[in-house]
């Protein structure tokens, strides 16, 4: 009896310890950042393939795929802005392949290593020469078919793509298979193969290295995940595999010998024998798996985890008995170094090198026999949601709402100089004008935290803001002098805006997290809108706040008193962006295809400017004479007095990604644009403002 009681006591204590560990790990520490200084590249790749007027490109885009050349000397990286080529021995950049900046979903080397073929999200097939990076040609999109995903066979002779299609109230994925005639000198001939698919929703898809087979996974709620295998030349369904216990599969991988198929979910990897349709081995990882790949000899299986660890398993073993169960958790080798989940893996053809890409924005090269790190490639980042320049303008800070990290870029050399990783469960919202404060909300939406970027610590916390906590879409805007923070929520139907004074000294860790005296209140609550507020901006002197949204009116508020000064009306649809001119005399407001220019002295509409594309970011030039209007992949310059279109500039990935933020630096000599494609472009203002290229 005593032993039973002791056993349960131990269990309870262990549970409490684990629970406290989890809670404490989720609380941001006093030191809010861990910063790693990066070694700048010896190659000046920031100037490669720039459009007219651009001085520098920061960031290489988000990694979609990695492949190693047949001779093991190079590796290509498919990204949201094109294809980068690297030396496989050192990791150094060799080239950014020529052509339009495209979101390349997947790539494949030709068997002789002379050509590289890629598939873009725009639905095109592209081919380049390996030695020069020259674009040989493009097979354009077929009947409005854009690729949601693309997968090449090993030598690029078979391409499988998926396209998102609407069906009823939902969305399904349609699968297409294309046979590409192999040649080394010209564009391939493409033959489309009809697939007899009965699935409406496809979660995962992979093609065998020889291109003969296709595997898809399908998840249905409260049922086990199903894996189907098909022949690519006829569309014939061969077999169905069912297991994984109601878990959504994250990746599939065929062995090179065609005998095995591996599948993984957020808990385990299973190896399937295709001939017998049974699984013969299971590997498990507490952190979960994201991506899989077999070695060229089919003897190793690499699994990339949520925790940034890569596990190498013996893919030939048959697990039996207790020893096999214990072996589930013991890989042959673990590769540690990444700080976030693994998104892509690639073996060299000789199996001696393993490449890994991670959400920590690095690509790492590993020696597979020892697990030693050979090189690190930096600069590959996901979408950028906000940018700001440091007070000395030597550093640009970028943030993303998708990643808990801050990138620091050296303006002079055009490379990433460091990256700071946030501690705790937080999501970015906005960065202050001088890049000194980052405002963010925690994962539960309860608090807004203010991070001092320069001191690497949290400087304050806003509690009990009153907006919806779960999945709250907060809009946060700093005043120019970084003394006030304006907050509203897009889940807030009545459009209430709060003004918070953030100049108070930082509270201690004990006060923030232990005492009950930490009850913050906003300085003002602004309640003039009757619908959702989508846009906020402070005047250059910080005394006025402009707000607009779905109520089709623009309110101007006195920041000191919280009083409504006046209202501007005239929008036919909602306002999605606002900008003051640097002299404070004009306010620009955007309703997608129209820009309204308001005279604030006389409180009247000056003129309406019709724009060619959607307007997501608007910005005045330093002399207030030119309006910069940014859309999906380009921005336009308009004359403020006449609304005349002066020029159009495209420097980011085409079609799919929009420009998210723009700022002027270097006393107005340089315009900086940030995009969802994972790049920042620095533009020579004198060049782009004087000429329409």
Domain assignment of residue 52, yes or no: no
> Same domain, yes or no, for 376 and 492?
no
Which of 130-144, 317-331, 521-535, 553-567 holds the top average pLDDT?
Answer: 553-567
Q: What is the pLDDT of residue 25?
A: 39
Domain assignment of residue 13, yes or no: no
Q: List strands edge to edge, sheet with 125-129.
A: 104-109, 115-120, 125-129, 135-139
Taking only the tens place, the pLDDT of each residue in 462-514 is 887 777 665 567 889 999 999 999 999 876 667 889 999 998 654 443 344 43
> Same domain, yes or no, for 186 and 219?
no
Pick the closest to residue 477 from 489, 491, 466 (CA basis): 489
Q: What is the pLDDT of residue 235?
A: 82
Percent of the chain with pLDDT over 70: 84
**Helix or strand run (H / E) with residue 20:** helix 2-26
Is 168 a residue whose pLDDT tops 70? no
* List of residues 6+ apart from 300 with CB closer than 8 A: 294, 312, 313, 314, 315, 332, 351, 368
Q: Give the end of a domain, one of 380, 403, 430.
A: 380
Q: Name residue 307's beta-bridge partners.
A: none
Is 18 a residue whose pLDDT tops 80? no
DSSP code per residue over 525-581: EE---SS-EEEEEE-TTSSEEEEEETTSEEEEEETTT--EEEEEE--SS---EEEE-
322/390: higher pLDDT = 390
State mean pLDDT over 151-157: 92
Backbone φ and ψ for 687, nearest 5 degrees, come out as -70, -50
Domain assignment of residue 444, yes or no: no
SS (H, E, C) 207-241: ECCCCCEEEEEECCCCCCEEEEEEECCCCCEEEEE
Q: 480 in helix, strand or coil?
A: coil
Q: Each residue of 465-492: b (16+ CB within 10 Å) or e?
A: bebeeeebbbbbbbbbebebbbbbbbeb
Q: What is the pLDDT of residue 169?
A: 61
Taking only the tens place, the pLDDT of each residue in 109-122 is 999 999 999 999 98
DSSP code per residue over 608-633: EEE-SS--SEEEE-TTSSEEEEE-SS
Q: What is the pLDDT of residue 371?
A: 95
> Same domain, yes or no, for 175 and 225?
no
**Helix or strand run (H / E) with residue 349:** none
Domain assignment of residue 410, yes or no: no
> Same domain, yes or no, for 186 and 203?
no
Min mean pLDDT across 24-28, 292-296, 326-330, 559-563 is at 24-28
Q: Are strands 158-167 and 524-526 parallel, antiparallel or unpaired?
A: unpaired
DSSP code per residue over 630-643: E-SSEEEEEETTT-
For tokens 């590959």, the residue is 380
Greatest C-alpha distance within the chain: 90
> Same domain, yes or no, for 173 and 243?
no
Q: 191 in helix, strand or coil?
A: strand
Taking only the tens place, the pLDDT of each residue in 320-338 is 555 455 556 688 899 999 9
Q: What is the pLDDT of residue 328?
A: 66
Domain assignment of residue 55, yes or no: no
Taking only the tens place, the pLDDT of each residue in 227-277 is 889 898 888 888 888 766 656 788 999 999 989 999 988 788 999 998 888
Confirm if 390 and 434 have CB atoms less than 8 A apart: yes
Q: Give the end of a domain, one of 193, 228, 250.
A: 193
Confirm if 250 and 289 have CB atoms less than 8 A apart: yes
What residue numbers bound the domain in which 572 lies? 474-690
Which two three-digit tokens encode residue 89? 């021995």
Q: Is 322 exposed, middle or buried (0-12, 13-18, 19+ CB in 10 A)?
A: exposed
Q: What is the pLDDT of residue 167?
A: 63
SS (H, E, C) 288-339: CEEEEEECCCCCEEEEEECCCCEEEEECCCCCCHHHHHHHHHCCCEEECCCC
Q: Name residue 520's beta-bridge partners.
A: none
> Same domain, yes or no, for 131 and 213?
no
175/251: higher pLDDT = 251
> Same domain, yes or no, for 189 and 208?
no
Domain assignment of residue 663, yes or no: yes
CA distance 21 to 270: 31
For tokens 């608090």, the residue is 447
* List of residues 6+ apart from 119 with CB closer than 8 A: 104, 105, 106, 107, 125, 126, 147, 150, 152, 159, 161
Q: For residue 146, what pLDDT band results from cuts at 50, 70 and 90?
A: confident
Q: What is the pLDDT of residue 71?
A: 97
Confirm if 214 and 229 have CB atoms less than 8 A apart: yes
Confirm if 598 and 568 have CB atoms less than 8 A apart: yes
Q: What is the CATH number of the domain that holds 336?
A: 2.130.10.10
> Same domain, yes or no, for 345 and 211?
yes
> Same domain, yes or no, for 484 and 510?
yes
Taking only the tens place, the pLDDT of each residue in 29-39 is 434 567 888 87
Pick the closest to residue 394 from 361, 432, 439, 435 (CA basis): 435
CA distance 632 to 590: 15
HSE-up (13 A, CA, CB side) for residue 81: 32
Domain assignment of residue 235, yes or no: yes
Which two three-digit tokens encode residue 673? 């644009």
Pick the closest to residue 207 from 195, 219, 189 (CA basis): 195
Taking only the tens place, the pLDDT of each residue in 211-230 is 999 998 877 766 667 888 98
Domain assignment of residue 657, yes or no: yes
Q: How many residues does the chain have?
A: 693
Q: Give the end of a domain, one of 193, 227, 250.
A: 193
Is 692 a residue whose pLDDT tops 80? no
State mean pLDDT over 444-449: 76
State mean pLDDT over 98-102: 90
Confirm if 453 and 437 have CB atoms less than 8 A apart: yes
Q: How far apart are the first and last CA of the chain?
A: 87
Pick the closest to residue 202 from 229, 179, 175 (CA basis): 175
Signed CA dihedral, 298, 299, 304, 308: sign only: negative
Q: What is the pLDDT of residue 427?
A: 72
Q: Is 614 exposed, middle or buried (0-12, 13-18, 19+ CB in 10 A)?
A: middle
Backbone φ and ψ for 309, nearest 5 degrees, come out as -95, 140
Q: What is the pLDDT of residue 506?
A: 47
CA distance 175 to 179: 14
CA distance 430 to 179: 46
Cα 395-399-403 angle, rounded to 5 deg:
140
Number of folded domains that form the chain: 3
Pick the closest to residue 228 from 256, 255, 249 (CA basis): 249
> Same domain, yes or no, for 116 and 132?
yes
Taking only the tens place, the pLDDT of each residue in 646-682 is 999 998 987 678 899 999 999 999 999 999 999 999 9
Q: For residue 13, what pLDDT band results from cuts at 50, 70 and 90?
A: very low
> Same domain, yes or no, for 487 and 615?
yes
Q: Name residue 206's beta-bridge partners.
A: 215
Is 515 a residue whose pLDDT tops 80? no
Pick the closest to residue 164 from 209, 201, 211 (CA basis): 201
Q: What is the pLDDT of residue 95?
A: 96
Q: For residue 4, what pLDDT band results from cuts at 50, 70 and 90?
A: low
> Same domain, yes or no, for 653 and 541?
yes
């Amino acid at each position: 009896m005593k032993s039973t009681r002791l056993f349960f006591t131990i269990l309870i204590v262990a549970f409490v310890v684990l629970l406290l560990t989890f809670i404490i790990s989720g609380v941001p520490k006093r030191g809010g950042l861990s910063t790693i200084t990066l070694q700048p590249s010896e190659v000046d790749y920031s100037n490669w393939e720039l459009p007219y007027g651009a001085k520098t490109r920061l960031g290489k885009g988000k990694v979609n795929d990695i492949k190693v050349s047949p001779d093991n000397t190079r590796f290509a990286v498919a990204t949201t802005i094109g294809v980068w080529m690297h030396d496989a021995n050192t990791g150094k950049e060799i080239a950014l392949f020529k052509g339009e900046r495209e979101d390349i979903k997947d790539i494949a080397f030709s068997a002789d290593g002379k050509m590289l073929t890629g598939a873009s999200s725009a639905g095109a097939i592209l081919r380049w020469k390996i030695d020069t990076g020259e674009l040989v040609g493009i097979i354009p999109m077929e009947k409005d078919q854009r690729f949601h995903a693309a997968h090449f066979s090993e030598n690029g002779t078979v391409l499988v793509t998926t396209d998102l299609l609407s069906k009823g109230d939902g969305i399904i994925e349609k699968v297409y298979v294309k046979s590409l005639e192999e040649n080394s000198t010209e564009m391939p001939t493409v033959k489309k193969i009809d697939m007899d698919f009965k699935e409406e929703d496809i979660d995962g898809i992979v093609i065998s290295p020889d291109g003969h087979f296709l595997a898809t996974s399908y998840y249905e709620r409260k049922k086990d995940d199903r894996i189907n295998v098909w022949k690519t030349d006829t569309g014939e369904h061969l077999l169905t595999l069912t297991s994984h216990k109601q878990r959504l599969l994250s990746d599939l991988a065929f062995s090179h010998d065609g005998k095995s198929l591996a599948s993984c979910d957020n808990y385990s990897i299973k190896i399937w024998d295709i001939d017998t349709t049974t699984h013969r081995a299971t590997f498990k990882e507490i952190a979960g798996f994201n991506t899989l790949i077999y070695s060229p000899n089919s003897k190793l299986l690499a699994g990339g985890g949520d925790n940034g660890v890569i596990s190498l398993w013996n893919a030939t073993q048959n697990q039996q008995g207790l020893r096999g169960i214990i072996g589930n958790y013991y890989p042959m080798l673990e590769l540690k170094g990444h700080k976030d989940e693994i998104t892509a893996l690639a073996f060299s053809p000789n199996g001696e090198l393993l490449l890994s890409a991670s959400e920590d924005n690095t690509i790492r090269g590993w020696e597979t026999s020892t697990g030693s790190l050979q090189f690190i490639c930096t600069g590959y980042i996901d979408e950028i949601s906000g940018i700001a320049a440091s007070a000395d303008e030597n550093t640009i800070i970028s943030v993303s709402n998708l990643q808990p990290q801050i990138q620091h870029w050296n303006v002079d050399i055009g490379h990433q100089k460091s990256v700071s990783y946030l501690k705790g469960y937080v999501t970015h919202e906005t960065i202050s004008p001088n890049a000194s404060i980052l405002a963010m909300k925690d994962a539960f939406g309860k608090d807004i935290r203010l991070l001092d970027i320069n001191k690497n610590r949290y400087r304050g916390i806003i509690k009990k803001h009153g907006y919806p906590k779960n999945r709250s879409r907060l809009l946060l805007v700093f005043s120019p002098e970084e003394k006030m923070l304006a907050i509203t929520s897009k889940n807030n139907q009545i459009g209430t805006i709060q003004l918070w004074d953030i100049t108070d000294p930082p509270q201690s860790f004990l006060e923030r997290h232990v005492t009950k005296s930490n009850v913050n209140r906003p300085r003002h609550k602004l309640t003039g809108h009757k619908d959702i507020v989508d846009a906020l901006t402070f005047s250059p002197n910080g005394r006025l706040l402009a707000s607009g949204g779905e109520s089709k009116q623009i309110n101007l508020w006195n920041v000191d008193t919280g009083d409504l000064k006046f209202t501007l009306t005239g929008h036919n649809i909602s306002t999605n962006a606002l900008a003051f001119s640097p002299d404070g005399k004009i306010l620009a407001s955007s309703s997608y295809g129209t820009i309204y220019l308001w005279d604030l002295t006389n409180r009247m509409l000056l003129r309406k400017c019709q724009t060619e594309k959607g307007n997501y970011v608007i910005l005045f030039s330093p002399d207030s004479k030119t309006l910069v209007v940014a859309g999906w992949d380009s921005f336009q310059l308009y004359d403020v007095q006449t609304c005349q279109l002066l020029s159009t500039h495209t420097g980011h990935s085409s079609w799919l990604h929009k420009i998210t933020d723009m700022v002027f630096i270097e006393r107005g000599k340089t315009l900086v644009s940030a995009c969802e494609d994972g790049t920042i472009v620095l533009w020579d203002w004198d060049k782009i403002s004087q000429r329409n290229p």
